[in-house]
Amino acid sequence: MHDTAADLLDRLLSDHPGLPLDAPAVLFGAAVHDIGKTVHPEELTGPGNRHEEAGRRLLLDHGVPEHLARFCATHGDWAAPDRTLEDLAVTLADKVWKGARVGDLETLVARRIAAAADLAAWEAYASLDDHLTALAEAADPRLAHQNSHPLTPRAGEPS
């Protein structure tokens, strides 16, 4: 997911120079957003959101500042009114990494970009849409690679 976030950031910052976006924070968030699944490993293969607060707490307990640890919790609750563009970028990268397109999320990101870049929302969305399509369409090989590394050994393989 980190590579997808980096690709998304490159595009956003290329299309909108001067966009007030903390790219290092987004990349950190992309790298650690699911770290709470080490506490709740059942959520690696099944549904659940207990990993979100668990990940935030884990990072805070290890000295990571709140402004970075928050990504563990915010990626699952992107519609909250206090979400920053950084929070939304991590969530958006997480969605398209899996091949998902979430219209309300994409519209919100486009509106935030438009406000920051002094553009019409449709212009921001148009520049974002093609790139998100390309990222989402490349999900199958990413998911296949991830699935080729099972959580438990296959029959006959050493543990």
Residue 155 pLDDT level (bands cut at 50, 70, 90) = low
Q: What angle in degrees, to the nearest 10, is found between the helix axes of 85-97 and 103-117?
A: 140
Looking at residue 112, what is its pLDDT? Answer: 96
Question: What rounded mean pLDDT belongs to the chain?
Answer: 92
Residue type, 46: G
* Longest CA span, the chain: 59
pLDDT greater than 80 at residue 30: yes
Residue type, 82: D
Instruction: Report the alpha-carbon distance of residue 44 to residue 80 in Å, rounded.
Output: 24
Cβ of 98: how many Cβ atoms within 10 Å? 14
What digits encode the pLDDT tens for the residues 11-22? 999 999 999 999
Residue 147 pLDDT level (bands cut at 50, 70, 90) = confident
114 in Cβ contact with 123 (< 8 Å): yes
Instruction: Report the alpha-carbon distance of residue 148 to residue 154 in Å, rounded.
Output: 10
Alpha carbon 47 to chain centroid distance? 17
Q: DSSP letter at 41?
A: G
pLDDT greater than 60 at residue 153: no
What digits encode the pLDDT tens for the residues 44-103? 888 999 999 999 999 999 999 999 999 999 998 999 999 999 999 999 999 999 999 999
